[in-house]
């Protein structure tokens, strides 16, 4: 099997030390478990991955040539830990990991004293024995905020999808199905329709899909322009709250946020101006809903029925949209937490399946 994998024959000495690591015994019969064989092969790969500077540091480690009675004084643990930190990209290595390398070297040496060759193989076993640490809450929070902050801009995402769809619509004959409307096309394909009629139906679905995306593309600008129009045309000085001014400022800041968002689409992150505008826009529905729904009947008449009705519909819709967005954000955080718990479960399972000496 090993010859088929690597395309060459292994030396007997090399095969012996791999089997010693896999069997967890120096001599005598023992069951060969797949997890232990994988561990031994990974240790060999780690040993072969040691670079020349690391081998130079290994040559500086003092190794006594006494009997292999397992005494800690056989190897200079300070130098060994320094070598492990060098391999570990200068990340501190605890003492128990250095002792673990020494224990693997002693297992390979058996009754013989531990030498540099055994240390090399023990280092390979340690280097490939990667264990996952639990992610701290701040790490999960950072990942969640990064996914939230560095998301694609609304108009940029829609334009990208339109760029992919429009060439097929312009050609008029679609020879490949698009995944965006795959369910509808599957319903069409299951029927015994002629090829021209099927292509016409596919083209019709594509046109409807593109028109819907164009409407979504223009919807934010239309909403902000509509609020400016309502505030300028239907305002009243007799209104106890400045409902028309709130609508006008909402439309102006909304259009400004759209322009800034389009300008930030070419950069890796949103500018602080874009964040500030979005934060201010999030507060408008709360003030608008509070002002509108606290008006009495007489005050509503003074403000104008058209302005009051438009304010009720707009601010209520935006509040519901913000609540749904908050639910989506909480769902995203729950997904991050679920992934972390799954990884912890897999790490615990891997820890139970580790190749330990029976």
pLDDT in tens, 115-153: 777 888 888 777 776 666 666 777 767 766 666 665 666
Average pLDDT of every residue of the chain: 76
Flag whether pLDDT at 336 surpasses 50. Answer: yes
pLDDT value of residue 322: 92
Domain ranges in the chain?
A: 2-130, 154-349
pLDDT value of residue 176: 45
Model confidence, pTM: 0.54
pLDDT value of residue 254: 92
Report whether 288 contacts 311 (CB < 8 A).
yes
Mean pLDDT of the region 242-262: 90
Flag whether pLDDT at 220 surpasses 50. Answer: yes
pLDDT value of residue 224: 93
Max mean pLDDT range (50-59, 114-123, 171-180): 114-123
Flag whether pLDDT at 200 surpasses 90. Answer: no
């Amino acid at each position: 099997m090993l010859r088929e994998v690597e395309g060459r024959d292994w030396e007997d000495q090399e095969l012996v030390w791999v089997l010693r690591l896999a069997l967890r015994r120096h001599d005598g019969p023992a069951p060969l478990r797949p997890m232990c064989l994988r561990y031994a092969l990974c240790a060999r790969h780690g040993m072969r991955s040691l670079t020349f500077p690391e081998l130079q540091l290994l040559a500086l480690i003092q190794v006594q040539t006494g009997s292999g009675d397992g005494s800690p004084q056989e190897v200079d643990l300070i130098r060994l830990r320094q070598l492990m930190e060098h391999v570990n990209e200068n990340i501190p290595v605890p003492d128990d990991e250095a002792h673990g390398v020494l224990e693997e070297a002693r297992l390979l040496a058996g009754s013989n004293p531990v030498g540099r060759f055994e240390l090399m193989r023990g280092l390979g076993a340690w280097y490939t024995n990667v264990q996952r640490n639990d992610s701290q809450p701040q790490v999960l929070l950072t990942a969640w905020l990064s996914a939230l902050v560095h998301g694609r801009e609304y108009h940029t995402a829609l334009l990208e999808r339109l760029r992919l769809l429009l060439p097929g619509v312009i050609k008029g004959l679609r020879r490949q199905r698009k995944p965006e409307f795959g369910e509808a096309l599957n319903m069409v394909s299951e029927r015994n329709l002629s090829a021209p009629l099927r292509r016409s139906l596919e083209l019709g679905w594509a046109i409807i899909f593109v028109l819907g995306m164009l409407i979504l593309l223009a919807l934010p600008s239309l909403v902000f322009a509509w609020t400016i129009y309502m505030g300028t045309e239907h305002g009243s000085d007799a209104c106890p709250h400045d409902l028309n001014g709130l609508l006008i400022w909402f439309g102006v800041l909304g259009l400004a946020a759209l322009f800034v968002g389009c300008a930030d689409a070419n950069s890796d992150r949103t500018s602080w101006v874009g964040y500030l505008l979005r934060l201010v826009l999030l507060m408008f529905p709360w003030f608008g809903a509070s002002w509108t729904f606290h008006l009495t009947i007489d005050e509503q008449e003074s403000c104008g029925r058209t302005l009051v009705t438009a304010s009720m519909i707009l601010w209520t819709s935006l509040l519901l949209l913000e609540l749904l967005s908050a639910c989506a954000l909480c769902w995203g955080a729950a997904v991050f937490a679920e992934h972390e718990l799954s990884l912890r479960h897999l790490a615990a399972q891997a820890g139970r399946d580790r190749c330990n000496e029976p």
